[in-house]
Amino acid sequence: MAGLVPVGEQRAPRPGGLVVVDKPAGITSHDVVSRVRRLAHTRRVGHAGTLDPMATGVLVLGVERATRLLTYLVGDRKRYVATIRLGQSTITDDAEGEVTGEGDASGLTGDAVRAALTALTGEIDQVPSAVSAIKVNGRRSYARVRAGEEFQLAARRVTVHTLQLHGETRPAPALLDLDVEVECSSGTYVRAIARDLGVALHTGGHLTALRRTAAGGFTIAEASTLDELATRPDPVTFPLGAAVARVLPRRDADAEEARVLSHGGPLSTVGIAGPYGVFDPAGDVVAIVSERDGRARPEVVLSG
């Protein structure tokens, strides 16, 4: 049968790479991982930051050795387009939860909305949505909410780099929908921004649509749908070497340096700050290194 390895024969590990998926609405990020595992014929697949089931857009996955690259991606900035509805609150702070409060956004002015958006921009202390995957005393926050527990998560310092209003509509006299663009640090909850905007304007608020348009340096223009990936012999968008070169600074090594590094040995420094990828004379990535204590030492060896 296809995909089976004869007894006594070992399959060499594949280098893999990054897959940039345009996640559809209605499924979890883990569902996407499961689908790509089947397409790539490997269990070794992970993602660099989840999207809620309601959300769509850029989800970056690592396959095979590239899963070790994901740690360098999880802290990257994210960019979204979103729709915030003022005049209603929900238990989940988005459209998937039951409505818990009704307000009146009929009297809101553009100046008031823009002032409230400005106040939520920059470094802020944000309380994550209660219905989230954050663990509290060993249990997921959403599980505690569904069990009827009342509690509040601790605030976290996040950065909202931009929060721009691009349009507004009124689906009903007491409701106001805002189309916004958000660029923020990793760990920021856009649905919490919607909630806090509603609190600031005394109307209640929640998220009705969310699309991630960029994660780190990867954009929606580079993303493929799951159906598109299914038509390809290999779902990888960026092979391992191209992925490392895209994510990190690059250093080219000679043959001896590449040999030393492939066995975990250090190299001389070249003055590159932070982690970077080292490539051999053939253009293949050998390792990710960082310079400390006067040597360039491998953090992750990727060759062989």
Asked if the model's pLDDT at residue 13 lies above 80, the reply is no
Asked if the model's pLDDT at residue 9 lies above 50, the reply is no
**How far is it, in rounded angstroms, from Cα 103 to Cα 172?**
12
At a CB cut-off of 8 Å and minimum separation 6, what does 300 contact? Answer: 68, 69, 287, 288
**How far is it, in rounded angstroms, from Cα 69 to Cα 246?**
11
Asked if the model's pLDDT at residue 134 lies above 80, the reply is no
- Backbone phi, psi, residue 40, to 5°: -90, -5
**How far is it, in rounded angstroms, from Cα 84 to Cα 176?**
8
Predicted local distance difference test score (pLDDT) of residue 135:
53
User: Residue 52 catalytic?
Assistant: yes
Predicted local distance difference test score (pLDDT) of residue 146:
54
Nearest of 286, 304, 83 to residue 179 by alpha carbon: 83
pLDDT band at 139 (very low <50, low <70, confident <90, very high): low
Q: What is the mean pLDDT of residues 25-45?
A: 96
pLDDT in tens, 47-92: 998 899 999 999 999 999 999 999 999 888 999 999 999 999 998 8
Q: What is the mean pLDDT of residues 121-127?
A: 95
pTM of the model: 0.88
Which of 22, 31, 52, 76 is labelled catalytic?
A: 52
**How far is it, in rounded angstroms, from Cα 132 to Cα 265?**
42
